[in-house]
């Protein structure tokens, strides 16, 4: 029996995800026997917190007369500071590894290297550019908030399913140490993420679900063919790809 009650588990899992996915100044907490694999259903909640911080920055900037372009840049900066660029780091590592390695071992070695190469720098630049251009389409804080909640919650809602449906690519990586994600946990995270997409309106949500399905299917197959499974970097790259897709949809459906 777990030492936590059901409400206690929920709060503990949310706190664990906030500690892992953000740089929030939370006090040191005792998570007991709960691992990230148990708590990852709450990743969309952490994403919503990141979205709220970004929306506050966007609203303050536009309220004081800052144009939407600089406001979007400030918003991205605030959110990247909040997460410590966790997922951006994963995207750049995957781009370097998949693009520069010829064998599975070499790809994993490159991904583990903290240095960034041409593939990683290009991927990082492109993802920032696309997200900035999508956010710059918004002129009001409310529409930016809806877009950011959808993007940050739903993109993290797929992480549990990604880790559940594939084996770890390495025996000692972060994703393998996180534990095994159960089907129930993966489904709970996906449902929370899907609910967040409703902020885009019904039409936008349907388009976003279709795009996320294609990205998830294609990226999962790519990871299996390139490195034989998942890593923490690969999960971060998936989050970035899904966030981009949702923001692009939002730039159409909410403007």
The answer to the question of residue 144 being in a domain is: yes
> What pLDDT sits at residue 174?
63
User: Tokens at residue 114, please?
Assistant: 């903290």
DSSP for the chain, written as a single string = --SS-HHHHHHHHHHHHHHHHS---PPP---TT--HHHHGGGHHHHHHHHHHHHHHHHHHHHHTT--HHHHHHHHHHHHHHHHTTHHHHHHHHHHHHHHH-SSHHHHHHHHH-SS--HHHHHHHHHHHHHHHHHHTT--SHHHHHHHHHHHHHHHHHTHHHHHHHS-BSSSSSHHHHT-PPPHHHHHHHHHHHHHHGGGGHHHHHHHHHHHHHHHHHHHHHHHHHHTSSB-HHHHHHHHHHHHHHHHHHHHHH--
Each of the 255 residues of the chain gets a pLDDT tens digit; together they read 344 446 678 888 999 999 999 998 776 566 777 889 999 999 999 999 999 999 999 999 999 999 999 999 999 999 999 999 999 999 999 999 999 999 999 999 999 998 999 999 999 999 999 999 999 999 999 999 999 999 999 999 999 999 999 999 987 766 556 678 999 999 999 999 999 999 999 999 999 999 999 999 999 999 999 999 999 999 999 999 999 999 999 999 998
> What pLDDT sits at residue 159?
97
User: Tokens at residue 64, please?
Assistant: 């004081």
Q: Provide the domain count of the chain.
A: 1
Distance CA 48, CA 39 (A): 15
The answer to the question of residue 2 being in a domain is: no
The answer to the question of residue 205 being in a domain is: yes
The answer to the question of residue 1 being in a domain is: no
Residue for token digits 């609203």? 59
Which structural domain range is residue 226 located in? 7-254
The answer to the question of residue 201 being in a domain is: yes
The answer to the question of residue 133 being in a domain is: yes
The answer to the question of residue 232 being in a domain is: yes
In the Cβ-directed half-sphere of 125, how many Cα atoms lie within 13 Å? 7
């Amino acid at each position: 029996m777990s030492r936590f009650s059901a409400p206690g588990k929920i709060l503990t899992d949310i706190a664990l995800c906030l500690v892992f996915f953000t740089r929030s100044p939370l006090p040191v907490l005792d998570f007991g026997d709960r691992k990230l694999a148990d708590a990852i259903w709450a990743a969309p909640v952490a994403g919503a917190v990141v979205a709220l911080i970004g929306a506050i920055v966007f609203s303050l900037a536009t309220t004081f007369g800052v144009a939407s372009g600089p406001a979007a840049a400030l918003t991205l900066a605030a959110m990247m500071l909040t997460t410590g660029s966790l997922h951006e780091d994963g995207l750049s590592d995957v781009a370097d590894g998949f693009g520069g390695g010829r064998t599975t071992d070499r790809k994993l070695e490159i991904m583990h290297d903290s240095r960034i190469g041409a593939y990683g720098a290009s991927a990082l630049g492109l993802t920032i550019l696309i997200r900035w251009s999508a956010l710059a389409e918004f002129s009001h804080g409310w529409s930016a908030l809806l877009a950011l909640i959808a993007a940050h919650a739903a993109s993290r809602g797929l992480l549990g399913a990604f880790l559940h449906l594939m084996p770890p690519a390495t025996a000692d990586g972060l994703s393998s140490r996180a534990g095994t994600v159960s089907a129930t946990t993966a489904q709970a995270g996906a449902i929370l993420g899907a609910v967040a997409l409703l902020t885009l309106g019904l039409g936008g949500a349907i388009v976003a679900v279709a795009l996320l399905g294609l990205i998830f299917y294609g990226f999962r197959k790519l990871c299996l063919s390139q490195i034989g499974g998942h890593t923490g970097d690969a999960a971060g790259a998936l989050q970035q790809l899904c966030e981009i897709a949702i923001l692009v949809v939002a730039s159409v459906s909410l403007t």
